Structures are given as C-alpha cells and as structure tokens.
A = this chain, B = another copy of it.
Amino acid sequence: MKKRVAVLAGDGIGKEVTNAATAVLDAIGRRFHHEFEWVHGVLGGAALDQAGHPIPEETIRKCEESDAILLGAIGGPKWDHYPKELRPEKGLLQLRKHFELSVNLRPVQAYKTLLASSPLKEEVAEGVDLVFVRELTGGLYFGEPSYHTDEEAVDTLVYKREEIERVVRFAFEMAQQRRKKVSSVDKANVLESSRLWRKIVEEIAAEYPDVEYEHMLVDSTAMKLITSPASFDVIVTENMFGDILSDEASVICGSLGMLPSASLRADGFGLYEPVHGSAPDIAGQNKANPLGAILSGAMMLRTAFGMTQEADAIEEAVKKVLEDGFSTGEFKSLGGKVLTTTEMTEKVINEIESEL
C-alpha cells in the first residue's frame, strides 16, 4: 500500500520522537512492502514562530490531503504568555475540532520490566491493560458561553445526544474486541450532563448484551485507578474527566513516555500522537523516549490502514527491546541499559528487520 501521512512534529522533543516514529514506519514499509509519504507541517509554537498562528491554513490543507496525521508534541514556556487565541494548545484544540476527532483512545499497559519504576506497588500495577475512550470535541472544552471578566467567569459543559452516543458506541465495540467490560464514568449525582450520559449508556449497553458494563462516579474512579487498576478494561468518559483520569492512569506504567494515543473521526480518519508533552527541558538532547511516538505509529497502522500484522510487528519489537533490558533515561534508576533516542529507535528497527 501507499499512504500519505501528515507529520506535525510540533515543539520541544516533538521533532525527535516523530523522526523516530517515521524511521520505524519506514522499516515496516521495507519489510511489508508499503510506501509511506511523509508530508511535514508546522503546529503549535513552531507554527507561531514561523507563520504567526498555532495552526496555519497550510497545515490544515496538508492534513486534509493525507491519509492520517502523526503528531509529536506542542507547547513550551516560550509561548506561555501569548494571548489565549494564539497559544500552542489552541492549535491542537482547533485541529481536533476541524477534523471532528471526537474519540480519543489512550491504552495503558504495564510492561513487566518497567514495573519497578511505577509509583504503585508492583503487585498493584502488574497486569494492567486498559484503554480510555475519551470524548474529545465536546463538553467544557468547546461549550458556549465561555468568557471571563474581572468579576466573573463562565464555562459551559454541553453535550448533544449524538456526541455521547458516538463515543459510547465506540467503547462497546472496542470492548467486544477485548475483555468485554465497559466502565462508564460520570458524576450523575451532581451533573445533568452525566444523567443524560448514563441514560444513553444504558440504551446502548442493551445492544451489546455480551459486554458487561458499570457506571462509576468520577471521584471513586480516581481512587480505583490507583487501588485496582488491573480491574479495568475499557473506560469511557466525557472530555474533561477523560483528560484528568487518563493522565492519572498514565503514571501506572512508570513513564508517560511509553504511551501512545489516537484521536478519531467517525469515518476512521485520525491523528496519532504520544501522550507525553514537549518536554522543553530535554529537547534537542537525544534523550527523549521515542516509544510513545513509535507505538502511536503502530496504532496508526492498525486503526487507519488496517495493517494488523505490521502493527503487531512494532509492538512485539518494542516488547522485545524492553525485555532485553533496554530503556531510555527516565528509567535510569532501574539499572538497565540506558539508550539515547536514536539508539532506542535503532534497536526497535533492528528487531523489525531481524524478522525479515
């Protein structure tokens, strides 16, 4: 197959990790006879510096002309004092809205060799294999009115039935491919939007009798993610709760640097990015963990292009490298073999090529 991918490196370590991901995907291309065309565009602070806007028209056009988007990371102290319409984050939010990327997937998996660096006891973190299905283009993030004066501020949490239906249905479909359990998270004892959410979950659950489901309150979920994370399979929730809980859960596996994500439109078009931020403090030092970006590449292959075997090959290569005791700087204390960004990328590529 021939696929065109828009690569938005963004800021900080974004460039290093997207370079790593495209190098690995090129290796997959060689092994499985695909051709990937990389179309580079600017986003976030880099776009502000170059074009005066966090998401220039040209970047949007490049994404529209591509089969998928691969993103690095955005933001940094340099742009923190820009007016809010010009903040790097605004570029990301506009990208999500423009392409209607309403379903955000964030898998969290505990890797055995990294457990020692989890803040959780190993027996608590062991076996964690869950995925967040977060609504990404509704709720408090985009509701109107939204303003502040010097005296008062208002944000609005709005959901339309179809927005909730879409993401909830996605979660149930996904659960059918996994351990068949959905935990729907809301705050139905306080919020009206949660009451509609809960109602819709029950309607949709009725269509998936093979999937077990439960309603959980967001506050108890914040506890249970720490006390028994391995009990979760698919967690579905609205935008803001998903933001908080998925970041909370991301520490389970010992480093944010490991985690991939996908943000999808109803027709399957999507954006793939590591969960970590732009980490300006280590940018340009060849220290960043490229595995989050590389695993995002695997999600892209599987979800956007239906390349299951190819995605498996990346995920197995990553597992193998970790099992061989290699990791990047943030796992230094584990006493394994610490690699640079490019060395780690090479190791993964070698694994992929060794199966030629």
Pick the most buried of A150, A154, A199, A244: most chain B CB atoms within 10 A of its CB.
A244
Q: Sort chain A's interface into a size bin.
A: 35 or more
Distance between Cα atoms of A192 and B226 in the complex (Å): 30
Q: Which of B119, B160, B191 contacts A124 (CB 8 A)?
A: B119
For window 130-155 of A, CB contacts with B under 8 Å fall at 140-141, 143, 146-155
Task: Say whether B247 contacts A195, CB under 8 Å.
Answer: no
State which of A214-222, A307-315, A348-356 sits at the interface with chain B.
A214-222
Task: Say whether A152 contacts B157, CB under 8 Å.
Answer: no
State which of A8-16, A45-53, A248-256, A263-271 sits at the interface with chain B.
A248-256
Task: Say whether B193 contacts A154, CB under 8 Å.
Answer: yes
With A153-B196, A157-B156 in contact, do A247 and B222 touch (Cβ < 8 Å)? yes
Q: Decide if A129 is an interface residue (CB 8 Å cutoff).
A: no
| Chain B residue nearest to A147 in the complex (CB) | B192
Distance between Cα atoms of A240 and B250 in the complex (Å): 21
Q: Which of B84, B147, B160, B248 contacts A226 (CB 8 A)?
A: B248
11 new A-B contacts at CB < 8 Å, known A87-B189, A119-B120: A119-B121, A120-B226, A148-B192, A151-B160, A151-B161, A152-B196, A153-B192, A153-B196, A155-B156, A187-B243, A222-B248
Question: Closest approach, in angstroms, between the C-beta of A259 and any C-beta of chain B?
Answer: 11
Task: Say whether A191 contacts B119, CB under 8 Å.
Answer: no
Q: Decide if A190 is an interface residue (CB 8 Å cutoff).
A: yes
Question: Closest approach, in angstroms, between the C-beta of A264 and any C-beta of chain B?
Answer: 20
B-side contacts of A120, CB under 8 Å: 119-121, 226
6 smallest beta-carbon distances between A and B, as pairs: A222-B248, A153-B196, A153-B193, A219-B247, A148-B196, A155-B157
| Chain B residue nearest to A250 in the complex (CB) | B223
A-B contact pairs, 14 of them (CB 8 A): A84-B195, A121-B121, A148-B193, A149-B196, A150-B161, A151-B160, A151-B161, A152-B161, A156-B157, A218-B243, A222-B245, A223-B250, A226-B248, A226-B251
Q: Decide if A94 is an interface residue (CB 8 Å cutoff).
A: no
Q: Decide if A159 is an interface residue (CB 8 Å cutoff).
A: yes
For window 172-219 of A, CB contacts with B under 8 Å fall at 187, 189-193, 195-197, 199, 218-219
Task: Say whether A156 contacts B154, CB under 8 Å.
Answer: yes
With A151-B161, A226-B251 in contact, do A140 and B195 touch (Cβ < 8 Å)? no
Distance between Cα atoms of A226 and B311 in the complex (Å): 31
Q: Decide if A39 is an interface residue (CB 8 Å cutoff).
A: no
Distance between Cα atoms of A33 and B354 in the complex (Å): 81
| Chain B residue nearest to A149 in the complex (CB) | B196
B-side contacts of A197, CB under 8 Å: 153
Q: Decide if A89 is an interface residue (CB 8 Å cutoff).
A: yes
| Chain B residue nearest to A88 in the complex (CB) | B189
Task: Say whether B192 contacts A155, CB under 8 Å.
Answer: yes
Q: Which of B153, B220, B244 contacts A219 (CB 8 A)?
A: B244
With A223-B256, A226-B120 in contact, do A154 and B251 touch (Cβ < 8 Å)? no
Question: Closest approach, in angstroms, between the C-beta of A191 and any C-beta of chain B?
Answer: 5
Distance between Cα atoms of A171 and B66 in the complex (Å): 50
Distance between Cα atoms of A241 and B159 in the complex (Å): 20
